[in-house]
Structure 1
């Protein structure tokens, strides 16, 4: 079916490129979560109200959301390697500025700079890898690239607590500097400058304004709903403004030959399936790093270090999955793996509802370790099959749209976890959330993840066979 020329790269070279890009993305994902633990210390340093320090989180997320839609055009116009290397440099400079900030205003400005770099790192890093490897190598490559999304949120809170407890909150940002320098040099030395013909046309500035405002308003609404950071009227207004900007962008995109977010990609069945089913799964998984540490520390009485050691088991399970991804997908195919592995991963999330304070930590570790394995495999499958049928000249548009939706759904997962927890606590008349409230939250997010299975069942049996090497027709004849 594929008539496009495939790049040739050795397995060792492919893994090296994947690790370099994944390390840069790990820096971004780690930074996004490690800062949350440092917010009280920052507030004390700036003589600010701790609750107001959430602006350090929201300013980064909004900056990230606004600039992601432009990443595809920028990569096509200036070259993916140059943009990715520049993104690492910008993110690192932003980290330095955060570390030396003398006021909340300076910190917010520095976080916006970080967001600009981060917005280019995720989609352009993925694009760079997809353009550098053949389709048969995509499963292995994406398996390595999936790691930052799973390890960063798990490792971030305990690492942030350790740094703040024994050093200074400013070191939370300083740890990015050596990683950024090494990453920029490694990209220059080992990542090829693979280019596709420029799609032509000017940057869709009006589309960027509409999409940026839509993302900014929606992210602001998600970040404030149910958290009493602003009056509820402001949150509702943010959602309404975001919806209005979405409609304005949709009308604009139909009249534009090269929109910043190309919704015509939704005509590709494997891409749209990964978008829709993957979004349900990401919402559920996005809630886990929020719910688990809270339950372990507030309901079970664990210290931050004890909680971090338990939740890190999930990251260890994700690491174990890497060599297993290609053999499993080759043996069973994408459709079967996405259905059954997704169901198992959802069930493992639901098992967290059974956790009790008197359970041995080894039992918790075993469940989280196993769940981490299945969740990582599911992410790898979604993130790979999404691009299996996308023509190479349209890869930049595909990574941009995919990253935009991914950012929204992961944030929505945190919001969903917090909202369910709040509602359960009120309905059960608890002053603070107890184990039963967390149990309800885990059951609901598990059910959300389970909703992805029927969507995956709509995939053809041979979906992604060029990526996995699984040929169901040949298997049936045998």
Structure 2
């Protein structure tokens, strides 16, 4: 449901912008607010799940997500829509990490990669069908109906969660680190907001620099606080495990390049190339289909070549594929656009499977809740920053020209894709610190094959 919602919304951005009388690039606040609320609220998800149980928290999250989806569909202004998306993000913040935590606690490490892939394949039905469903809904009805789709899905998901979800608890939960939440959540929220505002050129340089320094001071203050607090919100001591550290930090850097694609690609297809929403949705289906196919073989790929080689080479391939979008124009054959989408889905899927599973290779089971919370937090923060970065780069290349100028828009998007591709290739350097046999405990690799 969460995956379906995010992909549907991206397809409907131009229609939503026209309905609310704003420029398409300005609607990045709708996507950014959702991702930002995820990043701010995810840090407390592990604590809440340990205290109240995975079943209760997961079910409540589904209910909040479903209700807020209806509120999104009823929005009459961009401010209303952003507020509803923030509430929706709060619900989603409890779904993904709590669901991942349940999987981690259910399966042994040797089966973790296979279990995570098995769980994520049904979730990829959302990205597979979301763009097309969203495009058809926007084409035949209106963008509001894309949010109402979540109502029946949410009701079914809630019944399934209450009936079948395991109810794990972490024993006596420590006191919640309110100071840590204020420092970490406030710092990340302020930094992401600054990226969005800067992209719209609505703030003077002096206040921007002051707020940027404040956000860094808050994050630095959290780092210092976490090193001495008895029960920190995010236990940074887990970064002493090399596989966890590389997975989280390397994944953060890589997602900065990838994070802007779900927002920029529909703009390229609709605003730049003139495709209708449903045609744009069809062009995004190959990416999700290739991602599903890769999940079925990723364990064998990692067992054969090892995490280090896969992550280094695959990151370069992702960057090269992103850069290929800079060649897409109105004269580009449809088969070439589909091929780029297939390649992107294939490499992205392998990348995320590798990074997400390697994070738990060496972390003790007693720290699984904290590891899941930290990994999910940094993942969402990087996607939020990546979304803002992608929009910022495209806006900078547009250089004040009207977004109704299709030639200017497509030229700016081409340069943005090329820039993001180069940044992604450079992010492969973060995986060179891995060792050849890192990740064997979760990939099932035999020592001689690592």
SS at match of 2:20: helix
Residue equivalent to 1:398 = 371
C-alpha distance after superposition, 1:223-265 (max 9, x if no partner): 2222235555554444333212112222322221111122111
Q: In the alignment, is the contact (CA less than 8 A) between 1:29 and 1:148 conserved in 2? A: no
2: CA distance between counterparts of 1:356 and 1:28? 28
Task: Tell me the equivalent position of 2:446.
Answer: 471
Q: Among 222, 226, 236, which residue is 1:249 paired with?
A: 222
2 CA distance for matches of 1:426 and 1:170? Answer: 32
* Residue ranges of structure 2 left out of the alignment (5+ in a row): none
Q: Is the 8 Å Cα contact of residues 225 and 232 (structure 1) preserved in structure 2?
A: no
Q: How many residues align?
A: 448
| Higher RCO (CA < 8 A, seq sep 6+) | 2
What is the aligned counterpart of 1:308 among 257, 264, 281? 281
Aligned-residue offset at 1:296: 2.7
Q: What CA distance in whole angstroms lies between the structure 2 residues aligned with 1:475 and 1:399?
A: 28
Compared CA separation, residues 421 and 194, structure 1 to 2 (3 A): same
Give the match's secondary structure for 1:253: helix
Using structure 2 for the length normalisation, give the TM-score.
0.88
Q: Could you tell me whether the CA contact under 8 Å between 2:312 and 2:431 is conserved in 1? A: yes
Offset, 1:433: 2.9
Q: Deviations over 1:295-314 (max 9, x none)?
A: 23333333333222222221
What CA distance in whole angstroms lies between the structure 1 residues aligned with 2:79 and 2:439? 48
Q: 1:223 aligned to 196, 211, 231, which one?
A: 196
Show CA shifts across 1:187-216 (max 9, x none). Answer: 233332233434x42111111111221122
* Inter-CA distance 344–149: structure 2 relative to 1 (3 Å threshold): farther
Are the aligned partners of 1:37 and 1:157 in contact in 2 as well (CA < 8 Å)? no
Q: TM-score, normalised by structure 1?
A: 0.84
Return the alpha-carbon distance in structure 1 between the equivalents of residues 5 and 46 of structure 2: 19
Question: Separation in 1 of the partners of 2:236 and 2:200?
Answer: 33
CA deviations over 1:341-387 (Å, ceiling 9, x no partner): 22222222222223232121012102211221111111111010011
Q: Deviations over 1:142-179 (max 9, x none)?
A: 22455699776686565444323422443222111111
Match of 2:48 in 1: 74
Q: How does 1:254-403 map to 2 (within 5 A)?
A: 254-403=227-376
Bigger Cα displacement from structure 2, 422-431 vs 112-121? 422-431
1:124 deviates by 1.4
Rounded Cα–Cα distance in structure 2 between residues aligned with 1:52 and 1:429: 12
> Counterparts of 1:58-457 in structure 2 under 5 Å?
58-101=32-75, 107-146=81-120, 159-198=133-172, 200-229=173-202, 235-426=208-399, 433=408, 435-457=410-432
CA contact (8 A) 2:36 2:381 kept: no
For 2:259 and 2:157, locate their aligned partners in 1 and report how far apart those are by CA, in whole Å: 27
Change (3 A) 1:55 1:282: closer
Q: Which runs of 5+ in 1 are unaligned?
A: 1-23
The structure-2 alpha-carbon separation of the partners of 1:94 and 1:330, relative to structure 1 and needing over 3 Å to count, comes to same
Q: Matched residues in 1 for 2:345 and 2:335: separation?
A: 15
Give the alignment's Cα RMSD to 1 decimal.
Answer: 3.1
Q: Give the C-alpha shift of residue 438 in structure 1.
A: 3.2
Three-state SS of the structure 1 residue aligned to 2:152 is: helix
Q: Note closer, same or farther for the CA distance 1:32–1:152 as it changes in structure 2 (3 Å cut).
A: farther
